[in-house]
Amino acid sequence: MDRYAEPTRQVYEGWDEFYSRSVDDKLDSFRQNGRIFDVIYAQQFDREFLDYLCSLAEKIRLLAKTKMGLGKLKRLLQHKRAMLYFVQPSTRTFLSFQNACYTLGLSVSEIRGTSTSSEVKGESQEDTIRTFASYVDLIIARHAEAGFAEKTAWVLNQTERPVPVLNGGSGPDQHPTQALLDIYTLEREFRNLGGLDGKKVAMVGDLKRGRTVRSLSYLMKNYRDVTLYFVAPEVFRMREDIKSFLTKHAIRFHETDDFESVMPLVDAIYLTRIQNEYAEHPSSETETYPAFHFKTKHLTMIQPHCALLHPLPRRYEIEVAVDKDPRAAYWRQERCGMWIRAALITYIFRVDQVILDEFS
Ligand code: NCD
């Protein structure tokens, strides 16, 4: 047998049956020729892939600094088109993907609300999805529905135009490319301290509905000797699915609602906002949970190397004056998003080797 032949694909009855399966069962469905093709869940990434993507992002970043390097990047994917289907609010994820596409020469089209697409005329989700694929070579989707990006990939993988799909945020479930940029940021912040291996990381805020902390938690299984501290009010504690995943993979985690007690212990603090758009009555959720905010007075309580991260947007979680402290990594984190997403797109279109060749 040709060792590069595709493994026989599992056949499913339909979308509902497929969606109900465990992620482990479905991982092969989003691979092609031994590589990740659609990016749907954080569980798709292993250590080798994460290390590779971070090193690729560093190289793209370096190339983009010069006119000649940027010119080479811009010629890589001039023949490709991408579609940003972002029907949930977004600033950073949208702009960073858009600019990653521009850097690599892709043309970009966008839909930013269902009210302007034919879904309002009664078109089925499946037909809308196939229509997107008719015009572009890559779909990046953000949707309030947890399974939308997955469904897009699943539908297209059964058509004659299975273009790759990247999940730019699937409701309160996952945000795998944010997790990539979070890992890239942590590895960079700890580059003189041996990277993320062996570090203690606190995740703070709405851990129940925050997709970024959920995806990032999955990625921790790829790092040695990491300890997590889940710091949340009782109502927003991390869900059982993540906790049982961590237990299964022998990743230490502690849960507490005492933020100040954790501050001196950790190497990184990842703050998040209350995700009240997922509440039944969003405007009735007015509590701001100040015990889970990081103030300037806390700067003396954390370690000299402690990195402060936040996926942004920020509300009250970090006092603005904290931005001046060199340990505030969230603005650097934001920029890392553009580079790691550019790296991911070169990988998906198999032009990553061209970048490596520039450095050989
Ligand atoms: C996050 C998101 O959309 O989940 N934002 C982002 O993509 N950087 C976090 C948030 O909205 O709180």
What's the CATH fold of domain 15-174+337-350? Rossmann fold (3.40.50)
**Position 8 pLDDT exceeds 60:** no
Query: What is the best residue among 178, 276, 309, 335 to mutate for testing ligand 1's pocket, by most ligand atoms within 8 Å of CB?
Result: 178
User: Which amino acid, one-letter code, is at 242?
Assistant: I
| Helix, strand, coil percentages in the chain from 3-state DSSP, rounded to 5 | 50, 15, 35
**pLDDT tens, position by position, 292-329:** 999 999 999 999 999 999 999 999 999 999 999 999 99
- Within a 10 A sphere around the Cβ of 248, how many other Cβ atoms? 9
The pair of three-digit structure tokens given for residue 270, joined into one six-digit string = 């990842």
Domain boundaries, the chain: 15-174+337-350, 176-275+288-335
> Do the Cβ atoms of 210 and 171 come closer than 8 Å?
no
Nearest CA, atom 6, ligand 1? 311
Query: What confidence tier does 1 reach under pLDDT thresholds 50, 70, 90?
Result: very low
C-alpha distances (whole Å) from 233 to each of 20, 117, 238, 255, 258 are 30, 39, 10, 10, 9
Binding-site residues, ligand 1, Cβ < 6 A: 92-93, 169, 175, 178, 211-212, 272-273, 311-313
- Within a 10 A sphere around the Cβ of 194, how many other Cβ atoms? 9
Query: What is the best residue among 292, 312, 332 to mutate for testing ligand 1's pocket, by most ligand atoms within 8 Å of CB?
Result: 312
> Do the Cβ atoms of 71 and 312 come closer than 8 Å?
no
For residues 54 and 282, the model is more confident at 54
155 Cα: distance to centroid of ligand 1 (angstroms): 26
**pLDDT tens, position by position, 65-90:** 999 999 999 999 999 999 999 999 99
126 Cα: distance to centroid of ligand 1 (angstroms): 26
Q: What order of strands is seen across the sheet that includes strand 165-170?
A: 107-111, 81-86, 138-143, 165-170
Q: Which residues of 287-320 are buried (b: 16+ CB within 10 A; e: fewer)?
A: eebeebbbeeebbeebeeebbbbbbbebeebbee
55-68: average pLDDT? 98
190-206: average pLDDT? 98
**Position 3 pLDDT exceeds 50:** no
Q: Which of 341, 344, 50 is nearest to 187 (CA)?
A: 50
Would you please indicate which residues are annotated as catalytic (active-site) residues? 92-93, 121, 142, 175
Query: What confidence tier does 10 reach under pLDDT thresholds 50, 70, 90?
Result: low
Ligand 1 atom nearest to 175, measured from its CA: 4
Give the pLDDT of residue 146.
93
**pLDDT tens, position by position, 236-250:** 999 999 999 999 999
Do domains 15-174+337-350 and 176-275+288-335 share one topology? The answer is: yes
**pLDDT tens, position by position, 255-265:** 999 999 999 99
7 Cα: distance to centroid of ligand 1 (angstroms): 36
178 Cα: distance to centroid of ligand 1 (angstroms): 8
What's the CATH fold of domain 176-275+288-335? Rossmann fold (3.40.50)
